[in-house]
Amino acid sequence: MCEANAYLRQDGKDEMLMEMVDKVIPEGDGLVLEDIFGRRKLIKARIKELALVDHKIILEKEAQEN
Amino acid sequence: MCEANAYLRQDGKDEMLMEMVDKVIPEGDGLVLEDIFGRRKLIKARIKELALVDHKIILEKEAQEN
Protein backbone atom coordinates (compact mmCIF):
# COMPACT_ATOMS: atom_id res chain seq x y z
CA MET A 1 0.00 0.00 0.00
CA CYS A 2 1.27 3.43 -0.83
CA GLU A 3 -0.37 5.60 1.72
CA ALA A 4 1.69 8.28 3.47
CA ASN A 5 1.82 9.97 6.85
CA ALA A 6 0.81 13.61 7.13
CA TYR A 7 2.90 15.94 9.29
CA LEU A 8 2.44 19.56 10.26
CA ARG A 9 5.73 21.44 10.07
CA GLN A 10 5.99 24.23 12.66
CA ASP A 11 9.14 25.92 13.91
CA GLY A 12 11.23 23.37 12.07
CA LYS A 13 9.55 20.41 13.78
CA ASP A 14 7.23 17.91 12.13
CA GLU A 15 4.24 16.89 14.19
CA MET A 16 2.32 13.81 13.04
CA LEU A 17 -1.24 14.69 12.08
CA MET A 18 -2.57 11.53 10.50
CA GLU A 19 -1.21 8.14 9.55
CA MET A 20 -1.95 6.07 6.47
CA VAL A 21 -3.34 8.93 4.43
CA ASP A 22 -4.76 7.92 1.07
CA LYS A 23 -6.47 11.04 -0.21
CA VAL A 24 -5.72 14.74 0.13
CA ILE A 25 -8.26 17.17 -1.29
CA PRO A 26 -7.94 20.96 -1.04
CA GLU A 27 -11.19 22.49 0.22
CA GLY A 28 -11.62 26.18 0.88
CA ASP A 29 -8.60 27.39 2.84
CA GLY A 30 -7.79 23.93 4.14
CA LEU A 31 -7.27 20.31 3.19
CA VAL A 32 -9.35 17.20 3.68
CA LEU A 33 -7.15 14.25 4.63
CA GLU A 34 -8.67 10.80 4.25
CA ASP A 35 -6.94 7.70 5.53
CA ILE A 36 -7.14 4.22 4.05
CA PHE A 37 -10.07 3.40 6.36
CA GLY A 38 -12.10 6.36 5.07
CA ARG A 39 -11.66 8.46 8.20
CA ARG A 40 -11.48 12.15 7.40
CA LYS A 41 -9.87 15.18 8.96
CA LEU A 42 -10.22 18.78 7.83
CA ILE A 43 -7.03 20.73 8.48
CA LYS A 44 -6.47 24.46 8.01
CA ALA A 45 -3.12 24.11 6.31
CA ARG A 46 -1.56 23.84 2.92
CA ILE A 47 0.86 21.45 1.32
CA LYS A 48 4.49 22.34 1.88
CA GLU A 49 5.99 19.27 0.26
CA LEU A 50 5.15 15.74 -0.80
CA ALA A 51 7.87 13.12 -0.55
CA LEU A 52 6.07 10.02 -1.68
CA VAL A 53 8.98 7.60 -1.71
CA ASP A 54 9.48 8.54 1.96
CA HIS A 55 5.69 8.28 2.56
CA LYS A 56 5.58 11.85 3.79
CA ILE A 57 3.08 14.65 3.32
CA ILE A 58 4.40 17.82 4.92
CA LEU A 59 1.84 20.53 5.66
CA GLU A 60 2.20 24.01 7.03
CA LYS A 61 -0.20 26.55 8.45
CA GLU A 62 -1.24 29.44 6.27
CA ALA A 63 0.98 32.51 6.56
CA GLN A 64 1.08 33.76 10.15
CA GLU A 65 -1.00 36.75 11.11
CA ASN A 66 1.65 39.28 12.11
CA MET B 1 8.33 2.14 -4.47
CA CYS B 2 5.52 4.50 -3.76
CA GLU B 3 5.87 7.09 -6.41
CA ALA B 4 2.76 8.29 -8.26
CA ASN B 5 1.83 9.53 -11.69
CA ALA B 6 0.85 13.17 -12.16
CA TYR B 7 -2.09 14.03 -14.38
CA LEU B 8 -3.52 17.34 -15.51
CA ARG B 9 -7.31 17.32 -15.36
CA GLN B 10 -8.91 19.46 -18.06
CA ASP B 11 -12.46 19.27 -19.36
CA GLY B 12 -13.00 16.09 -17.39
CA LYS B 13 -10.04 14.33 -18.98
CA ASP B 14 -6.78 13.41 -17.25
CA GLU B 15 -3.66 13.94 -19.31
CA MET B 16 -0.46 12.31 -18.04
CA LEU B 17 2.15 14.93 -17.16
CA MET B 18 4.87 12.94 -15.47
CA GLU B 19 5.40 9.37 -14.36
CA MET B 20 7.06 8.08 -11.19
CA VAL B 21 6.78 11.36 -9.29
CA ASP B 22 8.47 11.34 -5.91
CA LYS B 23 8.34 14.97 -4.78
CA VAL B 24 5.83 17.75 -5.26
CA ILE B 25 6.78 21.19 -3.99
CA PRO B 26 4.59 24.29 -4.41
CA GLU B 27 6.64 27.18 -5.75
CA GLY B 28 5.18 30.57 -6.60
CA ASP B 29 1.99 29.99 -8.59
CA GLY B 30 3.05 26.55 -9.70
CA LEU B 31 4.41 23.20 -8.60
CA VAL B 32 7.77 21.55 -8.98
CA LEU B 33 7.38 17.85 -9.77
CA GLU B 34 10.43 15.67 -9.27
CA ASP B 35 10.53 12.06 -10.38
CA ILE B 36 12.44 9.23 -8.74
CA PHE B 37 15.39 9.91 -11.07
CA GLY B 38 15.64 13.53 -9.91
CA ARG B 39 14.24 14.99 -13.13
CA ARG B 40 12.20 18.11 -12.49
CA LYS B 41 9.31 19.84 -14.17
CA LEU B 42 7.77 23.17 -13.20
CA ILE B 43 4.06 23.20 -13.90
CA LYS B 44 1.67 26.15 -13.58
CA ALA B 45 -1.04 24.25 -11.85
CA ARG B 46 -2.30 23.38 -8.42
CA ILE B 47 -3.21 20.16 -6.68
CA LYS B 48 -6.80 19.07 -7.23
CA GLU B 49 -6.56 15.73 -5.46
CA LEU B 50 -4.07 13.16 -4.27
CA ALA B 51 -5.08 9.52 -4.38
CA LEU B 52 -1.96 7.81 -3.12
CA VAL B 53 -3.24 4.25 -2.97
CA ASP B 54 -4.12 4.66 -6.66
CA HIS B 55 -0.72 6.31 -7.28
CA LYS B 56 -2.41 9.40 -8.67
CA ILE B 57 -1.67 13.09 -8.35
CA ILE B 58 -4.40 15.08 -10.06
CA LEU B 59 -3.53 18.67 -10.96
CA GLU B 60 -5.60 21.44 -12.48
CA LYS B 61 -4.80 24.77 -14.03
CA GLU B 62 -5.40 27.89 -11.98
CA ALA B 63 -8.90 29.36 -12.37
CA GLN B 64 -9.59 30.24 -15.99
CA GLU B 65 -9.27 33.82 -17.10
CA ASN B 66 -12.80 34.62 -18.18
In a domain, A12, yes or no: yes
What is the number of domains present in chain B? 1
Residue A40 lies in a domain: yes
Asked if the ipTM is above 0.85, the reply is yes
Rounded CA-CA distance B27/B46 in Å is: 10
Residue B4 resides in a domain: no
pLDDT averaged over every residue in chain A: 93
pLDDT in tens, A26-43: 999 999 999 999 999 999
B10 domain-assigned: no
Q: Is A63 on the interface with B (CB under 8 A)?
A: no
Whether B62 and chain A come into contact, CB under 8 Å, resolves to no
Report pLDDT for A66. Answer: 47
Q: For each of chain B's 66 residues, which pLDDT tens digit applies?
A: 789 999 999 999 999 999 999 999 999 999 999 999 999 999 999 999 999 999 999 999 976 554
Give the nearest chain B residue to A56 (CA atoms): B23
In a domain, B23, yes or no: yes
Establish if B45 belongs to a structural domain: yes
**Closest partner residue to B22 among A22, A47, A53, by Cβ?**
A53
Closest partner residue to A52 (CB to CB) among B21, B48, B49 is: B21
Would you place residue A55 in the very low, low, confident or very high pLDDT band (cuts 50, 70, 90)?
Answer: very high
Q: SS3 letters for chain A?
A: CCCEEEEEEECCEEEEEEEEEEEEEEECCEEEEEECCCCEEEECCEEEEEECCCCEEEEECCCCCC
Please check whether residue B21 lies inside any domain of the structure. yes
Q: How many CB pairs under 8 A join A and B?
A: 60
For chain A, percent of residues with pLDDT exceeding 90: 89
Q: Please report whether residue B59 resides in a domain.
A: no
Q: Name the residue in chain A with its Cα closest to that of B52.
A: A22
Q: Residue A14: which domain range?
A: 4-60
Per-residue confidence (pLDDT) for residue B1, from 0 to 100: 73
